[in-house]
Amino acid sequence: MKRPLLIALILIGAATAASAAAGLALQKPENETEEGFSGVYDVTADGSIAVVSFTEGRPGIYLLDEEAASSGPLAESGTDSRINSLSFSPDGRSIAFTVSPKDPAAGGLKSIIRLLDLESGTERAVFQDKGLITELTFSPDDPDLIYFLRAGVFENYSPVAAQHPHDFDVHEYRLSENNTRPLTDLKAYDMQSLDVPAGSDSVYFSMFGDEEYESAEETFDATQQIYRIPEEGGTPEPAGDGYPRDVYGFAIIPDGGAIYQAVSKTSDEGIFEYELFRSDSGQGNGRQLTRMRTHAGNPVLSPDGKTLWFVEDRNFGKERPDFHLYRMPADGGTPEALFPAE
């Protein structure tokens, strides 16, 4: 073998060995790699914002001040868990949040609803469940009542698809009685965007409306739509006469209609671009509110319906999300970036 070739091969081998050693020294367990805003947040009636943010993989709840800056975490959880959802109580004095394992396949299917008292800074577990609680919200009219979406299983529907929560139903939990009650009996494939508007007697959520389809071909025509059930539970019925496309996240407008998240178009890279639309009639034909050209979602409306908060994932379709919180007028305007600071 030629000497220069031998030297080149030795150098490549040395560089590979050094790189592998650097990799071993610098790599972190998957649980400790998440950093920054998780995309989970809630807003009080007076506009106070609480967000869930990761620090070296630990999820924590932070309150944002008027400049949208955060101080230390009010509550934290371990690196093997995530805070899926949080909700301010109607008086804004406490926050209910749900904690579950980051990897339910390894950590077991379980969730804990915890209550954080903002005045005393103390927190306590109020309810533990052997399912995956993906979203929760306080009833805006009853500080004793929490609604939540619960998945009964966490599995993959095919060998190459990732595991996801399935068999969803809506439940309610009464704090004073420490009692839960299912409000639906659907075992739905997917459910999201739980919303209970103030003064309403309905609980809203989105899911695939495929129960009326009989054949597999018809199931492909099913779209994700907004449904509502009476607050005491029952059979879901579509909210509005149907939207012209799949509706994922949404926020019900107090006077009717909804601000909803749907696919706007496909990017040059072949990735769906999600935007927020406003439909005052609930009949579809929504007017496009955002033009982020990435992934706008998680809309939250102020009780008077005038202010809209939402989250943009600037890295949507890639391995790691990059969430940013915005505020804008609910009838359209320029979004103002709030968190994290830019």
Partner 1 sequence: MRPALLRFAREISRRTDGTRMERQDLEEEMAGHLEATFSRLIEEGHTEQEAEELAMSRFGDGKRIGRQIQQALYPYRREMILGLSAGSLLFGFAVFFSVLLTAWSAYIPWLILCSLTGSALLALAVDPPASLNRRFVLNGLFLLQTGVLLSGILLTSAVPGNAGSILAMAGWLLILLAMALVYRTSAYDYRTRRVRLEKHDMAINAANVTTGILSVSISLFILWAYLAFSDGTDRVWMFALIPALFWALTYAAQWLLLAKGRVKTAYGITGLQIAVIAAALALFFRIT
| Interface residue list for partner 1 (CB under 8 A) | 1-2, 4-5, 8-9, 12-13, 15-16, 19-20, 22-24, 26-28, 30, 32-33, 158-161, 315, 318-320, 322
Nearest to 249 by CA among 287, 205, 294, 279: 205
Tokens standing for residue 305: 């319906």
Could you report how far apart the first and last alpha carbons of the chain are, in Å? 56
**CB of 29 or CB of 72, closer to partner 1:** 29
Nearest to 241 by CA among 209, 283, 203: 283
Residue 3 CB, nearest approach to partner 1 (Å): 10
**CB of 28 or CB of 287, closer to partner 1:** 28
**CB of 67 or CB of 268, closer to partner 1:** 268
How many other CB atoms are found less than 10 A from the CB of residue 339?
22
**CB of 217 or CB of 255, closer to partner 1:** 217
Residue 321 CB, nearest approach to partner 1 (Å): 10
Q: How many residues are there in the chain? A: 342
Residue 38 CB, nearest approach to partner 1 (Å): 16
**CB of 7 or CB of 69, closer to partner 1:** 7
Measured CA to CA, the distance from residue 37 to residue 324 in angstroms comes to: 7
Nearest to 127 by CA among 170, 174, 81: 174
Residue 263 CB, nearest approach to partner 1 (Å): 18
Residue 23 CB, nearest approach to partner 1 (Å): 3
Residue 22 CB, nearest approach to partner 1 (Å): 7
Measured CA to CA, the distance from residue 50 to residue 42 in angstroms comes to: 6
Residue 221 CB, nearest approach to partner 1 (Å): 16
**CB of 20 or CB of 337, closer to partner 1:** 20
**CB of 20 or CB of 198, closer to partner 1:** 20
